[in-house]
Copies of this chain bind each other. A is one copy, B any other.
Amino acid sequence: MISVGLDVGGTNTKIAVLNDKYKILKNIKIPTPLSNGYDFFIKELTEIAISISREYQKKKISVCIGIAGDVDSDRGILRYAPNLCGWKNKNIKKDFERVSGFKCLVENDANMASWGIYVFEVKRKVKNMAVFTLGTGVGGGIITNGNLYRGSTSTAGEIGHMIIKEGGEKCNCGNYGCLEAYCGTYALIREVQRRIKNTDSYLKKYGFEKGNITPKIIFDLAEKGDRICLDIWKDYGYRLGSGIGNIAVLLNPEITVLAGGVSRAHKFFMPFVKKRLSEYGIKTPINKMKILISNNEDIGVLGCASFALDNK
């Protein structure tokens, strides 16, 4: 038995193949085939799976597709994917299985990244774990009793949309005061633009080309000791600390993992996460929880492939 993970993002699709010992046989990336409609997209994905089954001479392979969107994983239906042509109510499981003949699971991509971290980084050594994926948005995943926790409509783990500050900053979801409204990269950039009036001349001062503010630049400026950017990471850590603290008192996980591109800035924000956590009055779940940083960019597709193997 081999398994195939397909991690479908708005730009690229990652592909991983595992053998039944969870050894990585293949790990590649292609542009997501979005330009010719949904049927073409399904045809392209099934052809990848068929060619892998031929390459490894396996008649039966187990497939899991991770998708950036709202997924009904019980039925394998993509409810809505703003970043995939805005597709709505696509029965990916049925369509993929019909065309390919292989069994296929369809899951949310943040859940699959969480599963990948659980299997490959934490090595299933704990029972309860939470993951924060820190990127443009703030997503997440929850492991309870050693299993992926999806909730009743497979939409559990929307960590970024818990309110931490009623009446606070506007979030991309339309609500105010969500964790993401402080810890999404768009929120970080919004804050830099508020505090630095003329970003072009500010960047020039530090020897950078003028251009758009990115999380990388906020990181680099902090690295050079820039007070404004250090303060922005400080506030980021404090707010992320509220999110992590809330998860600790609610879910009491052994481990919370910070993943996604922004987690690379951990040296700037982690001291303030810890400060914030120290303010919580309920000490046991806070003090007993470890916080880990994950920086494996392929963890999402590895999660898909291992999830396919676990549920073959």
| Bound CA span A247–B159, Å | 10
Enumerate chain B residues within 8 angstroms of A167, measured Cβ to Cβ. 165
Query: Is A128 on the interface with B (CB-CB < 8 A)?
Result: yes
Enumerate chain B residues within 8 angstroms of A162, measured Cβ to Cβ. 162, 245-246, 249-250
Query: Is A70 on the interface with B (CB-CB < 8 A)?
Result: yes
- The residue that A161 contacts in the complex, of B70, B149, B280, with Cβ under 8 A, is B280
Query: Is A164 on the interface with B (CB-CB < 8 A)?
Result: yes
CB <8 Å contact, A284 and B153: yes
User: At the interface, is chain A mostly helix, strand, loop or mixed?
Assistant: loop
Enumerate chain B residues within 8 angstroms of A128, measured Cβ to Cβ. 151-152, 156
Enumerate chain B residues within 8 angstroms of A70, measured Cβ to Cβ. 284
| Bound CA span A36–B242, Å | 42
CB <8 Å contact, A152 and B253: yes
Those of A264-281 within 8 Å (CB) of chain B: 279-281
Map CB proximity to B onto A143-160 as digits: 1 under 8 Å, 0 otherwise. 011010111111111110
- The residue that A281 contacts in the complex, of B149, B175, B245, with Cβ under 8 A, is B175
Enumerate chain B residues within 8 angstroms of A246, measured Cβ to Cβ. 162-163, 246
Interface residues contributed by chain A, number (CB under 8 Å): 55
CB <8 Å contact, A285 and B163: no
Enumerate chain B residues within 8 angstroms of A284, measured Cβ to Cβ. 70, 79, 153, 155
CB <8 Å contact, A280 and B155: no
Query: Is A97 on the interface with B (CB-CB < 8 A)?
Result: no
- The residue that A282 contacts in the complex, of B150, B158, B251, with Cβ under 8 A, is B158
Query: Is A171 on the interface with B (CB-CB < 8 A)?
Result: yes
- The residue that A156 contacts in the complex, of B126, B250, B280, B281, with Cβ under 8 A, is B250
Enumerate chain B residues within 8 angstroms of A245, measured Cβ to Cβ. 162-163
Those of A173-220 within 8 Å (CB) of chain B: 173-178
Query: Is A239 on the interface with B (CB-CB < 8 A)?
Result: yes
Given the interface contacts A151-B128, A173-B282, does A251 sit within 8 Å of B164 by beta carbon? no
| Bound CA span A77–B168, Å | 41
Return the chain B residue nearest A163 by Cβ: B242
Return the chain B residue nearest A156 by Cβ: B252
Query: Is A127 on the interface with B (CB-CB < 8 A)?
Result: yes
Query: Is A166 on the interface with B (CB-CB < 8 A)?
Result: yes
CB <8 Å contact, A150 and B252: yes
CB <8 Å contact, A155 and B281: no
List A residues at the B interface (Cβ < 8 Å).
Answer: 70, 79, 126-128, 142, 144-145, 147, 149-159, 161-168, 171-178, 239, 242, 245-247, 249-254, 279-282, 284-285, 288-289
Additional 18 contacts, C-beta under 8 A, given A151-B253, A156-B250: A128-B156, A145-B145, A150-B252, A151-B252, A151-B285, A152-B254, A154-B252, A155-B249, A157-B252, A158-B249, A158-B250, A159-B250, A162-B162, A163-B164, A165-B167, A166-B239, A166-B242, A174-B279
